[in-house]
Amino acid sequence: MDILAQSGQRGQRRTVDALVKAVTSRYDIVARYYKIKRQLLGLDELYDYDRYAPLETRETRYQWSQAREIVLNAYNAFHPQMAEIADSSSTKNGFTLSSAGKRGGAFAAPTIPSLHPYVFLNYTGSDKDVMTLAHELGHGIHMYLSRPKGALEAGTPLTTAEMASVFGRCSFFNDLMQRETDPAVRLSMLARKLEDSFATIFRQISMNRFEDAIHTARRSEGELSRERYSELWLKTQRDMFQDSVTMRDDYGIWWSYVRTSSMCRVTSTLTPLAISWYWPCSTSIKRRGHPSRPNTLMCCLPAALIGPKISCAKRV
């Protein structure tokens, strides 16, 4: 039985193999980006703790009404029904704007088919918050349209759970960039967007390679020591960053922050997340035009460059 089908992810092994091969064969994209970032930061050497350092501390703030307008316009450009559903989520009982007693994070909850999905987020006016709004409303739209399936069949596996939300992020990002007039802020926004894509596509696959390495080593070597885990973690991370980032030996222990449940499952929860991110990015690029055009690459440069190597993406 296919390992993804066995775990309820409804995917095929050949799809995962194609994804892993395509992503690992283009690790040079990650290395090239971080070499450029090192230069932009004015550093002689980029360490593992420098990877997410912002290029610009200034940022534009958006009122709630502005955020709603930006996100709804982006969804409406794709299909008016998506904007209509998203609008109902952000104006009726789908949102609570009270800050008292709220905890961190963001999520969407479908509850039951007879009720409109709920969306939860903390909004402080940053461009990241606007992106989170687009993301969570994507979930809300997906959940709303799934209601006719009923409570037992409306749920989605990991391979498709993030598709609508990621598509929402891709659709609105170029609109947000066009609104920003400060070149330095625009560059910082684009860098964060690329790092977001790296984290979900390349980083997820690099952790999948670590997961594969520890299971393979366990079969031949027996119980693995903490030092062996760290050795395999550093190798799979260095494979991705190559010579662009200096990975300190202390970074070897960072495997411990990966969820234990992820490493102990029959199949990885990492590759479905990368698949879930990849497909809507490819769709967004195809909808905007030829992937060689710079404006189409703002959404997800990694997917644009590795796309031709995955046959399923050609049929999107």
pLDDT at 170 over 80: no
How far lies 209's CA from each of 89, 212, 232, 237, 307, in Å?
39, 5, 9, 9, 20
Per the CB < 8 A criterion, the answer to whether 142 and 156 are in contact is yes
Residue with tokens 């309820």: 8
2-6, 84-88, 153-157: which range is least confident on average? 2-6
pLDDT tens by residue, 27-55: 999 999 999 999 999 999 999 999 999 99
Comparing CA positions, the residue from 300, 212, 156, 232 lying closest to residue 17 is 212
Prediction pTM value: 0.76
Q: What span, in angstroms and rounded, lies between the C-alpha atoms of 194 and 299? A: 8
Per the CB < 8 A criterion, the answer to whether 217 and 227 are in contact is no
Q: pLDDT at position 153, please?
A: 85
User: Strands, E, within 192-259: which ranges?
Assistant: none
pLDDT at 137 over 80: yes
Polymer length in residues for the chain = 316
**Cα 36 to chain centroid, rounded:** 22
Per the CB < 8 A criterion, the answer to whether 185 and 58 are in contact is yes
Q: What span, in angstroms and rounded, lies between the C-alpha atoms of 314 and 188? A: 31
Q: What span, in angstroms and rounded, lies between the C-alpha atoms of 158 and 37? A: 32
Q: H helices within 121-201, ranges in order?
A: 127-146, 158-161, 163-179, 183-200
Helix then strand then coil, % of the chain, to nearest 5: 65, 5, 30
Confidence of residue 295 (pLDDT cuts 50, 70, 90): very low
Mention every residue, 6+ apart, whose C-beta is less than 8 A from residue 260: none
Confidence of residue 259 (pLDDT cuts 50, 70, 90): low
pLDDT tens by residue, 98-125: 556 666 678 888 888 888 888 888 888 8
How far lies 77's CA from each of 26, 228, 271, in Å?
32, 51, 30
The single-letter DSSP state of residue 119 is E
- How many Cα neighbours within 13 Å face the side chain of 210? 33
Q: pLDDT at position 128, please?
A: 83
The answer for 224, left when phi > 0, alpha when psi is -120 to 50, beta otherwise, is beta
Confidence of residue 5 (pLDDT cuts 50, 70, 90): very low
> What residue ranges define each of the domains in the chain, with the CATH number in brackets?
3-58+197-314 (1.10.1370.20), 64-179 (no CATH)
Rounded to the nearest 5 degrees, what angle is found at the Cα of 92, between the Cα atoms of 115 and 127?
110
- The predicted model gives 246-272 an average pLDDT of 71
